[in-house]
Amino acid sequence: MQNATYGKYQKMQVETADKGALLLMLYDGLILALKKMQNILGAETVDQGTLAEEAFRARGILYELMGALDDKHNKELTNNLHSLYEYFLHQVGETITLSDPTLLNDVIKQLQELREAWATAIQEDRAEKTYGTAKATASTGEPSKRSGKTITA
């Protein structure tokens, strides 16, 4: 019963989330799948079925992230992210082939850093849309993009 309720809650979150929140959910799911893969491979007996499920989940999320890339705004960023996601896919495959969970350490670290960068960008974008540029920078004490002057609240 509890799993069914949680599943409905998760479904509602995804269906009502904006693009930024969905992106962060994808990163969270990917990081979780990779950590589960590490735990499975680090166990005394490896559950191949569960390992395959988590690898499938990780690959699916990576393909979703790759498919969502849009080079209309920043082609260089798009190309860099695409290359990074391809590297992550390669590492997932190598991890399974070599049964070496340490191959995912760098991937997880980079994904956590990317997630934090996206979370910051999304938060700043939301603040700008809600309050405008001047109000959004007021709490940071950083110079306004419009005037170059530091704004204080």
The three-class DSSP label of residue 143 is: strand
Which fold is adopted by the domain 2-105? Four Helix Bundle (Hemerythrin (Met), subunit A) (1.20.120)
Mean pLDDT of the chain: 83
Tally Cβ neighbours within 10 Å of residue 117: 10
At 87-134, the pLDDT tens digits run 999 999 999 999 999 999 999 999 999 999 999 999 988 888 777 754
CA dihedral sign of residues 87, 92, 98, 100:
positive
Q: Is the pLDDT of residue 144 over 50?
A: no
The ranges assigned to domains in the chain are 2-105
- Which pLDDT belongs to residue 127? 83
Whole-number Å distance between alpha carbons of 114 and 90 = 18
pTM to 2 decimal places: 0.76
At 57-77, the pLDDT tens digits run 999 999 999 999 998 889 999
Per-position DSSP letters for 23-86, written without gaps between them: HHHHHHHHHHHHHHHHHHHHSSS--HHHHHHHHHHHHHHHHHHHHH--TTT-HHHHHHHHHHHH
